[in-house]
Structures are given as structure tokens and as C-alpha cells.
Structure 1
Amino acid sequence: MTAREREMAARRRAAILTDLGLHGSVRVQEIADRFGVSLVTARRDVVALARQGRLQRVHGGGVLVPTEADDGTRHGVIGVVIPSGHGYFQEILAGARQGAREAGVRLILATSYYDEAEESRIVDRLRRARVDALLIATARPTDQRLPSWFATLDRPVVLVERQCAARGVDYVRSEHEAGVEVALDHLAQEGHERVALAVLSSTPTSVRLIAGFETALAARSGMHAPFPPVTFVWEDQDLSQRNAALESLLDSCAATGTTAVIVHSDDDAVALLGLALERGLRIPQDLSIVAYDDVLAALGSVPLTAVAPPKYDVGRLAVSVAARRVTAGDRAATQRVRLVPRLVRRRSTAPPGTPPPGTTRTAPHDAGDRS
């Protein structure tokens, strides 16, 4: 098995475990259909995960490994509120399910849509369901102000991928500011001096990415942003505004000699890659791209180098914090946990002007188009 095949197998198996955590079971046929692999390959994935103790094989697929916490003995019920249909939070939920098994608690899931009114209704419904604690990726992105329902909730709340400076508020989040610095460190090592940032402005993560980007660049010599961070929206499946912003980003990169760009989120990084290739740009020879989130980055036509927040660990630790609150109450110390993302290097970054594979720097005009 080549290094590329091993990487794809690892990514596929991580996704299988995410589905297992969400649904409790996986089927070989569904794995084959989803990833476009043979039944033999899908079955091999299930066998490998079973040998690692990550799932239990059954006829036609696999199920969660039984644990003591699955014998009906539970020590609390925790409500989980996350944005609907977002791949990023599916991995957080998989970690939360693992944390629930370890803590002997049961999870009740509710999905929101980054809408404060809907979020308030969901929280009220979970209160009536008598949950013992709440994990929530709230729609409110600011650090200082909490949603109105927070003051009236009479049970522990743990913020997930959010934070608040208010007294006694627990949270577990990825330190996205440090994630941007991880990306800039990598690009600096590659020799990039002019670097841009583009973010999906409709998510709370964008605020932290911009802050981290500006702070990190201010502390560096030899690297700068030729223009302010680009923000764009993606609403109601209308991509025209997003694509226009990305096209403008490419124009600005060309006009300023910018050689690398960090893009949040993965969907938008893949879109930028496609627009760049349509222009005849070579990735990474003409422009290096770093995706932020690492949900879909490996599936780009040029697999994208990405910053990967520790999503699974965020979910797992958040449940642990909530379970401790349930058992210890006010005696438990406030916990504010920040986990640092890591860089996953793939083929979309290289030193500026690097010739394509199989060529030399003495004849860059023979490089051709990698796309």
C-alpha cells in the first residue's frame, strides 16, 4: 500500500467511526457506496477497525463496542445542541458519544440552525425533558454576552467551540487563533512572505481566525498580508456571492503578488481551488492553499493542506466536563479548555515557484499544468 493509499484509508476509517458514533452501526455496502470503493476494501476497513477494538463486527457491517455504560446503568442525561447538517460538528458529536460511554451518561441530541430564537425553543424543550446538563454550540459568537435563556437555566451548561468570560461558565473549544498560527508557521517555513486570509463570515469561528491572523502577522517579520482578510457569505444555497468574493480574492492575489492563502471553511477552500484551476493557475506552484477545518480538504482535486481542529477531543472532553458538573455540582472547579489544532500537510502547499514533479528549476517553462 502506497503512502497515498494509507492516507486515504485512514481518512475513510475516521469517517466510518464518525458514522458509527452518530448511528451506532455501519454497513459494508453503505461504506462502499459512500466512498466509491469495492466491497472487499470496505470489508477490510471494518476488519481493521475491529482489530483495533474500535467497533464490533456483525454480519454485513459493524456496531459500537459494548461497554459497561451500555448496560442500561446511566448516571445522568445530557442534552447536546449543535448546528444542523454541518460535517464539522458530526465529528464533535462522535467524540461526545465516546465521552458519554466513558462517563456512563446518556445524550439527547437537538439540532439548531445558528438561529437564536430556535435555539431558545430547543433549550426550553430540553429543560422540560429534564436533562441534567447541556452542551451547546450557541448561535451567539461573542465572548461577553450570553443568550437570554442562559440566566434562567437551572442546570449546568458547557459551551462547545464557544467561550464566555462570565463567571462560572465552562467551555471546551479549539483554539482557532493558534490554528491560524500553525498555518502561518508552515507557510513561513515554505518561504511565503505575502499571505491572505478568507473566511466564511456567517460562523463564529471567523471572528477568532481574523483575530489570530492579525495578531500573528503583527508579531512576525518577513511576512505580511497585502490586503485585509476577505469575508464572504453562503446562504440559502446561493453561491454567487461566495464565488464572486473568491474570484475577487484571486484577482487581489495576482495584483499583489500574494503566494499563499488560508481559507475557512473546507467547502470554500475546495471552491477556491476549482476557480484557481479554471484560470489556469497551478496549485501549489502559482498559489498555495491551506484549508481550515479539515472535513473535506483531502478530497480536493489537489488534496489540500489543512488545519485540523481537534473536533473529536472537543466533544469527548465537553461531555466529561458536563458529567463532572452533574455529579459534583458547584464543588467542581470551572473548566475552560482550549485545544490546539494541528496541520495536516498534503499537496496544495509548496515554496513559491516550486516546479511541478519531474521538472527542474532550470526549466520552469516546461513544468506544465498539474491540474
Structure 2
Amino acid sequence: MPIPADDRRARILDTVRALGTVRVVDLAERLGLPAVTVRRDVAALADAGRLRRTHGSVSAGGPGPGGPASGAPGSAPAPAPAPDRPAEAVTLGLLVPAVVQYFDEVITGARTAAAGAGVHLVLGISSYEASADRVQVDQLLASGVQGLLLAPNWSAADRPEEHAWVAELPVPAVLLERRPAPGSPAAALDAVGSDHRHGVLLALRHLTGLGHRRVALAARTDTWTAHQVRQGYAEACRTLDLPAEPVIDVLTPAAGVDDVAARLAGAVSGGLGAALVHNDQDALQLLPLLRARGVRVPGDLALVSYDDVFAALGAPPLTAVAPPKRAVGAAAVDLLVRRLGAGGGALPVHHLELLPDLTVRESSGG
């Protein structure tokens, strides 16, 4: 049976008074309660002037050392915290799989939002290996962060239970550019990301609007976004009543692009008129390889790239799907700050998907 909030908070007060100062994580473990619940109760008690919070720890007393308790005769009331803001300055940890241009923009958006909210941001960089995520997260937690922004290394082959560890973290967390499986433990976390399925639909709708009825997809297999793009392609073909072409695998920027160019050139000779390529880097490498095979872009093949990081630098400049990378970073920070300011659990869980745009340039023709 759940413990009533008043009873929980009385136990928290008794424990903190006995210990003097204790980390919220240790307090939750001592009481046998979920950390997010204890964090919410501690926030309520601190707002009432019955406890003090300082950077992940809590201590007995009112608003200040030696000061009167809130509500004592003749005492001034403690200033109320700003709505939807943490009661004290906090540090947020940000985990990204690599500092590449895509996540550079996500980081920029997060930094701008963090500065506006008066919180500090600490960056953890993982490799594209799932095992490295937990090491980096442990280091961020050891540094004293009060919340986490996470872009873990998930793949389509993962089982949902393999993601359960992110739901067991001792501090609130927001997933970045990751969509937790419905019903999985991670689905209880906040998440902010780009709706890549919508982005693919934008690209294919643009190309069909130019009269193309056959649109190929060339995409990577090694990233979360690539899998979302592949799923979006199948859905968009059904929505637009297009035949789904066999997806052309792009291996890495250093290998496989020449093979992709050969397959696209062969498909053009068989009547293919358009292609979507994930990502910009691979699409840019394809341009000279296609020219060498006598395929003109956009004369013979209308080309759209995905990410819009380097697309404008192509010859010709590439029409591109542009996920709202900076807005994702900013929205994630804003949500986490609100979550901390509301004491952890006062807000419903948010799964936010921001819609990409399509930037039309020369490569798609028309």
C-alpha cells in the first residue's frame, strides 16, 4: 500500500534531523523510497521552509543558517521560488554519443536554454557503444548533477528491457532524440526528439509534388536516426501510395558510398527519378560519384538529403530535411528545469516530438 504523503514527509523530516545533512539519493535509499518521490517531497518541505536544499543534499532547518523557521513569530516569509524553476542553482549533465555536427547543434540549443534558466551544464561524451553510456552517466552523477539529458546509444535491435537502467537513475532524466518503446521502463521518462517520420514524409511529398512516382532511400544502419528514417520511408510510401524501393544501405562515410552511387546510377537507367539520402555527409560524397557515372543532379536524379548540416555546401546545394536540432536541446533543458522545479513528479510525463522542416534548394529540381 502506498505511504501517504504526510507520513512520508514526516519520516523524511525525522531522518534529516537525526543526520543533519544527507544526500537526497542516500535519503531515498535509507527510507526505501523511490528517489524521484523523495526529491518531490523534499522540494515541498523546502518550499514550506522546513528543510534546506543545496546541490543534491538536504539539511534540517529553515531558510537560512541560524534563521527563524518559516512561520515563526516576527519572521519574514521565505521568498517563493520562481514558478517552474528549481529552488536553487543546479547542474545538469548532458550525454551525447559523439560531438558531431548534428549533436553540436543540439548542445548549442541546450547551452543557450541552460544559460537562460541560470543552470550549469556538464557534458559527457560517449562512444557509439551502449556499454560506454553507463560509464559516462556514472561519472556525471559522481560530479553532483541534479538532472540528466540523455542521448543513449540505442539501436532498433535492442530489447526494451535493455533500456531499463535509464529509468532507475537517482535523478530526473530527459531522453534526447530517442523514443522509448511504449510500455517499457524507459517510457516513464520525459523525452524530447525530432519526428523523423514526419521529416521523411515531407521529403517524399515534395518529390511526388514534382511528379516523381519512384523515390529510393539510401540510409545508414548504425544510428537511431537512421532507423527512424527507414521506418518513416516505409510509412510515407504507404501514405503517398508509392512503391517502396529496396533500401540502399550506406555503410560509413569512408566505405560504401561508391557502391551506393553505382546502385543509384543503375536504378536511374531503370527509370528511378528521385532519392532521399541519409545523411548530408554521404549525400555530398555521392554528387561527384554520380557525375562520374553520367548521372546529373537534378537533371537525371532529384536528390534530397537528411539532417541539413552540410547540405547547403553541395554542388549543387542540396534540398534537405532539417530536424529542429537546437530546439530539441532547448526544449529538453526547459522540461528538465520544470521537472526539477516541480519537485520531480508534479508534472505528467512528457513525450515531445518536434517537427522537422524541409529546405528546398537546387538538387531536387523544379
Q: Secondary structure at the match of 1:134?
A: strand
Shift of 1:314: 0.3
Aligned to 1:171: 191
The answer to whether 1:248 aligns with 2:263 is yes
Aligned to 1:138: 152
Aligned to 2:333: 319
Q: Secondary structure at the match of 2:277?
A: strand
Instruction: Kindly tell me the number of residue pairs found equivalent between the two proteins.
Output: 273
Aligned to 2:175: 159
Aligned to 1:267: 281
- Which runs of no fewer than 5 residues in structure 2 stay unpaired? 1-86
Correspondence for 1:147 among 163, 175, 178: 163
Equivalent residues in 2 for 1:1-371 (5 A)?
75-142=89-156, 144-147=160-163, 149-164=165-180, 165=182, 166=184, 167-221=187-241, 223-225=242-244, 227-234=245-252, 239-255=254-270, 257-328=271-342, 329-351=344-366
Deviations 1:237-263 (A, max 9, x none): 6x23343234223323323x1100000
Q: Residues 115, 338 of structure 1: CA spacing in aligned structure 2 closer, same or farther, 3 A cutoff? A: same
TM-score, scaled relative to structure 1: 0.70
The answer to whether the 8 Å contact 1:76/1:326 transfers is no
The answer to whether the 8 Å contact 1:74/1:106 transfers is no
In 1, Cα distance between equivalents of 2:161 and 2:316? 41
Deviations 1:109-141 (A, max 9, x none): 011122111111101111111111111111013
Output the aligned Cα RMSD: 1.8
Deviations 1:287-344 (A, max 9, x none): 0100000000000111000000001100000001111122211112111100111110
In 1, Cα distance between equivalents of 2:275 and 2:313? 18
In 2, Cα distance between equivalents of 1:108 and 1:181? 35
In 2, Cα distance between equivalents of 1:121 and 1:109? 13
Q: Which has the larger radius of gyration?
A: 2
Q: Secondary structure at the match of 1:207?
A: helix
Shift of 1:148: 5.3
Shift of 1:103: 1.6
Q: Secondary structure at the match of 2:352?
A: strand
TM-score, scaled relative to structure 2: 0.71
In 1, Cα distance between equivalents of 2:227 and 2:202? 17
Q: Residues 168, 147 of structure 1: CA spacing in aligned structure 2 closer, same or farther, 3 A cutoff? A: closer
Shift of 1:145: 4.0
The answer to whether the 8 Å contact 1:74/1:104 transfers is no
